[in-house]
Structure 1
C-alpha cells in the first residue's frame, strides 16, 4: 500500500512539474525564429525621435497591413497615414482641450502638462476606421492593427496603439477637422497608431501565462 501511495505521489508531482514548465515556456522571451522574435520583442513606444518615417518603409507597413485576414475577405477598413505636423498638432490641441477637467487614464492623464502629445511626439500617425455595417469589422481592424505593429517593428520602427484620441475624432464638434481625413460616412474611426523611430527602450512587462490552459 505504501508503494502505491509513493508512486501516486511521484506521478502527481511530475504532472504539476510538467504544467509549470509549460507556463515557463510561455514567458520565455527567446524566439525560435525571426517572426517569433519580432512578436516577443515588440513594445509600445511612447517617446520618438523627430526623424520622419521614409515612404518606402511606410509602403511596406501598409502592404503588410492590408494583407491581414478579414471575415469573408471584406476588408472593412479605411486607413489614413498622416505625416502633416500641422494637422497632427491640431488633433493634439483638440484632445488637450477635451481632456481639460476630465479624469483621464494612462498617459492621457498628463494632458495638462506643457508639451503634452497624445501621439507621444510621433512624426507619423495612422488613423483606422471600420465599416459600421459590418459586424466583424472591429475584429478585422484589430487584425490589421497587429500587422501594422509587427511589420513596423520588423523595420526598426516603433508604434503605440492610441484609443483615447478616438473620443475627439468621433465628436461632431470636430467634424471639420475629421472631414480632412475623407472617411466614408458609413465608417467610424476606432483607433490611432503612433509611428516613428523609437527614442526609448521599454522593459518587457509581465505576461499572464496562467490565462492559457491546455485541455489535454
Structure 2
C-alpha cells in the first residue's frame, strides 16, 4: 500500500502530468457546431454524453488549462470556492486508484459499470488517461452543491474541446477510507477536505446515444 520514495518526490505537486502517448485506435468523429454562440451552448448541454471508452492519447496541458479555468469560474456560495482539484495523469497513481478499488470491491456487489469489476482488465475509471479528483471543504455546508456546479463546468468544457468525461461516484468512498488517506496526502489534499467526486477524462472511443429523459419530472407552475 506504500509508494516508494522516488514516486512521492515526483508527485508532490497538485498537478501531475505525463508525456503524450500516441494513439493507436481510431478516433471517434466529433460534432463541430457551426451555429451562434447561444445555439452552441445549448447544443453542448444537450449532446454531452458520459464516455466509458477512451483512446490512449493523453490530454495536453492547454486543454487541461482551459478545463480548469472553466471549473474555477463556477459560481459558489459567498464565493468561498470550497474545492481542491487535482488532475492526475501519472499512470502509477491511476493504477493505485484501481488497486484500492479492487481491494475494497472483493465480495461486494455494485450497480452500473462497477458491477463488472471481476472481468479481466477492469478499470474503475474506464482506462481513461486522466482522472480529475475534486475534494470539498467538510466545514462548508454548501460545498457539495458548489462542487457539483464546478463539475458541470468541467464536463461541458471538456465536451466543447472534443474530449470525453465520465463522473466516477463509486470511487469516492474508497478514496475517503482511513486506510487510503496516504493517497490524499500524495495528492496534497488539505486536512478538512474529503473527495466529493472524480472524473474520467480523455479522448472518446465511443459515441453513445442519449438515454431516455423524463420530461414529466418537470412542472411549470404559473
Provide the rounded CA distance (Å) in 1 between the counterparts of 2:180 and 2:83.
Answer: 21
Q: Which consecutive residues of structure 1, in runs of 5 or more, have no partner in the other structure?
A: 1-30
- Greater fraction of residues in helix: 1
- How far apart are residue 214 of structure 1 and its match? 1.1
What do the CA deviations read for 1:93-118 (whole angstroms, capped 9, x no partner)?
Answer: 11011111011111111111110000
Q: Give the match for residue 178 of structure 2.
A: 172
Deviations 1:133-177 (A, max 9, x none): 100000000000000000000000000000100121001111222
Partner of residue 36, structure 1? 42
Relative to the length of structure 2, the TM-score reads: 0.82
Q: Which moved more, 1:102-111 or 1:142-151?
A: 102-111
| Match among 75, 83, 90 for residue 81 of structure 2 | 75
Partner of 1:99: 105
* Superposed structure 1 runs of 4+ greater than 6 Å apart: none
Q: State how far apart, in whole Å, the 1-side matches of 2:210 and 2:174 are.
A: 31
Distance in 1, Cα, partners of 2:138 & 2:107? 31
Give, in whole Å, the separation in 1 of the partners of 2:104 and 2:139.
28
- Aligned residue runs from structure 1 range 94-173, under 5 A: 94-173=100-179
Say yes or no: does 1:185 pair with 2:194: no
Aligned-residue CA RMSD (Å): 1.1
- Structure with larger Rg: 1
Tell me the TM-score normalised to structure 1 length.
0.84
